[in-house]
Amino acid sequence: MSETYTFTFMKEVSSLLHAADGNPFPMCVQCGTCSGSCPVAAYMDYTPRQIIAMVNAGLKDQVMESNTFWYCASCYQCTVRCPQDISITELMYALQRYSIWKNRYKEGMIGPAFSEAFAKTIVRTGRTFEPILAPSYIFSFKMREFFQEIQNATELMLKGRLPILPPRIKRLDNFKRMIRRILPMGGAE
């Protein structure tokens, strides 16, 4: 029973990766090079080395309840140094996708809300637009931090560095139809 479960979680995560073939999670030798190279490891609930061990062991609940993959900064330092040619960065992306897909994440994580808002903006307009993205995560900050954000935004605006109107691409209808060929069930609105 537990063996099937183990197999399934690792496979489920791998299947969310195009590069899964070249990403041999079970080959991890637990050397810890990834954790030693990771600039964010000190802030993670589990280090990259621990996370891959947990994925391989099928500890789905603990993995999903952790902040680790939302704290990954996609810097690829672990990836270029792993002696087994495993891309931990891609594993982190796969876990983020898995988490959004299953709607399961650690309470208080702002990452998922931002990712979704960001993605929706691109799908709607073809371009990103910083100001409308801000509210989706800004209120999760504490008060002092919130004011720091406002201060930053105001200064950027004064310097002419924040856009006033959302940019749009010209052939938006084609663009939306293109997206429907990838995500046929919607997400394009």
Candidates 4-12, 24-32, 52-60, 93-101; binding stretch for another protein (CB under 8 A): 93-101
What's the chain's length in residues? 189
The answer to whether 150 contacts another protein (rule: CB under 8 A) is no
Of 91 and 129, which has the nearer Cβ to ligand SF4? 91
Q: Is 24 in the site for ligand SF4 (CB under 6 A)?
A: no
Q: Which of ligand SF4, another protein, none is residue 82 near (CB under 5 to 8 Å by kind)? A: ligand SF4
Burial class (CB in 10 A: 0-12, 13-18, 19+), 70: buried
What are the helix (H) ranges across the chain? 2-14, 33-37, 48-56, 60-64, 68-71, 77-81, 88-102, 111-125, 130-138, 143-158, 172-180
Tokens of 86: 């495993």
Question: CB under 8 A: which stretch of 3-11, 26-34, 58-66, 87-95 binds another protein?
Answer: 87-95
- The correct pick among 5, 11, 19, 61 for binding another protein (CB under 8 A) is 19
- Does 137 interact with another protein (rule: CB under 8 A)? yes
